[in-house]
Amino acid sequence: MKKLIMGMAALALLFTSCEKDQPENVNELAQESVDMSDFYVHTDYNDEDGKAAQNGKNCYSMKNLNRLLKEDDKLYRKMYDIEKNTRSILAKSSNANKGKPGSGDGGTTPPPTDNIGIVTIPVVVTVVYSNSQENISEAQINSQIAVLNADFRAQNSDASNTPSEFASVVADSEVQFTLAGVRRYSNATTQWGTNDAVKGQYPPETPATTLNIWVCNIGGGILGYAQFPGGPAATDGVVVGPNYFGNTGYVSAPFDKGRTVTHEVGHYLNLRHIWGDGRCQQDDFVADTPSSDGPNYGCPSYPTTNCRSTDMTMNYMDYTNDNCMYMFSSGQKSRLRTVFASSGPRAAMAP
Ligand code: ARG
Ligand code: ZN
Ligand code: CA
């Protein structure tokens, strides 16, 4: 009798372990069936030719990424693996999403990154100034943190400007920011460029768990640049010009609403430009941002049509003026939150 009970217990154990095994196998299968055939890190078409680098407002995050890719031949593979993991996580949220990276909103199962909850990122701001104007005020720094919080939580007042075509995909990314520290350094350098020299002189503070933002004059009319997930820890973070930081104090219109940092933090959390840095065929790997032929500038009228669809010119990941960009989409939310998954590159920031 005892033997029989033991036997049944063992059998039951076997059954439960079989049941446990199944989802794991399914996950492994999903991981293997991820289609990576369209993966690329950057297309060069607007990099060196002055055409798209209109008014020097070209995105130097991509230029910086190209430099890092040249310096480190393992970075491409790292970013490929991060992308594969992102797609694998999103594919699990719904069968309807299979092959549609970023569309964490199409199915009945919520994105698995939902249960991570609200992510609060501590921010260390390093102000490097060559004159008193560049030594921006505490009020200006606080204004940027407030803009980040409003924009990433979809609490920005201009979100209500979103045309009805896109209103249903405006997303609260459930990422927020707190000011963890301000460091100030006087330095004779007047233009820091985009080669991370400022980070070498003033290394980041605990980059695994902290967003580092260097506020210094970059030069060449460059607003800011970010490092994508997967890059070296020693240069992780965002660099931005003092007059494009925050929405009060020493700020320059039309980039005076703090949206440069919103855009760069989007890159820092693995969002790409909505036109995919290429023509209609190139993609940002987000399903609910319509394909576009290139960046939009200024304050485009609605609808602006490219690639047979309306451009989401009001998305933070386009190149429009600060007061003409006011939303992330739910697909972007799903995508960026995968970086906080336990297998993601910014897992250490998850609560
Ligand atoms: N293209 C800029 C850069 O990375 C960022 C775009 C910011 N756009 C804005 N409206 N603030 O250099
Ligand atoms: Zn950019
Ligand atoms: Ca898209």
Whether 44 and 50 have beta carbons less than 8 Å apart is answered as no
Whether residue 64 is contained in a domain is answered as yes
Name every protein residue with a CB atom under 6 angstroms from any ligand 1 atom: 57, 59-61, 222-225, 255, 259-260, 263, 319-322, 325
Task: Give me the CATH number covering residue 289.
Answer: 3.40.390.10
Please tell me which residue, 18 or 231, carries the higher pLDDT value: 231
CA of 281, nearest ligand number: 3
Residue 250 CA to residue 176 CA, distance in Å, equals 24
Please tell me which residue, 39 or 16, carries the higher pLDDT value: 39
Beta strand 119-129 pairing with 175-186: parallel
pLDDT at 4 over 90: no
Rounded mean pLDDT, 187-197: 98
Full domain range(s) for residue 226: 49-349
The mean pLDDT of the chain is 87
Report which protein residue has its CA nearest ligand 1's atom 11: 260
Query: Distances in Å between the alpha carbon of 6 and those of 3, 12, 16, 249, 279?
Result: 5, 10, 15, 75, 65
Query: Residues 83, 134, 174, 264: which is the catalytic one?
Result: 264
- CA-based torsion, 144, 137, 234, 41: positive or negative: positive
Report which protein residue has its CA nearest ligand 1's atom 4: 59
Rounded mean pLDDT, 42-49: 54
| CA of residue 219 to ligand 1 center, whole Å | 14
Whether residue 20 is contained in a domain is answered as no
Tokens, residue 101: 């990276």
Predicted local confidence at residue 105, as pLDDT = 44
Q: Establish whether the linkage from the previous residue to 207 is cis, with ω within 30° of 0.
A: no
Whether residue 244 is contained in a domain is answered as yes
| CA of residue 94 to ligand 2 center, whole Å | 29
- Given pLDDT bands bounded at 50, 70 and 90, which one contains residue 33? confident
Q: What percent of the chain has pLDDT over 70?
A: 82
Q: Tens digits of per-residue pLDDT, 135-164?
A: 999 999 999 999 999 999 999 999 999 999
**Range in 8-22, 46-60, 319-333 the model is least confident about:** 8-22
| CA of residue 349 to ligand 3 center, whole Å | 26
CA of 272, nearest ligand number: 2
pLDDT at 8 over 50: no
Whether residue 117 is contained in a domain is answered as yes
Predicted local confidence at residue 112, as pLDDT = 73
264 is known as an active-site residue: yes
Rounded mean pLDDT, 271-280: 95
Q: Is 69 left (phi over 0), alpha (psi -120 to 50) or beta?
A: alpha
Q: Tens digits of per-residue pLDDT, 54-86?
A: 444 567 888 899 899 999 999 999 999 999 999
Whether residue 141 is contained in a domain is answered as yes
Whether residue 39 is contained in a domain is answered as no
Whether residue 28 is contained in a domain is answered as no
Report which protein residue has its CA nearest ligand 1's atom 12: 59
Angle ∠(319,320,321) on CA atoms, nearest 5: 125
Beta strand 309-310 pairing with 305-306: antiparallel
pLDDT at 20 over 70: no
Q: Tens digits of per-residue pLDDT, 198-243?
A: 999 999 999 999 999 999 999 999 999 999 999 999 999 999 999 9
Whether residue 16 is contained in a domain is answered as no
CA of 262, nearest ligand number: 1
| CA of residue 326 to ligand 2 center, whole Å | 15
* Nearby residues for ligand 3 (ion, Cβ within 5 Å): 284, 286, 289
Question: What is the total count of domains within the chain?
Answer: 1
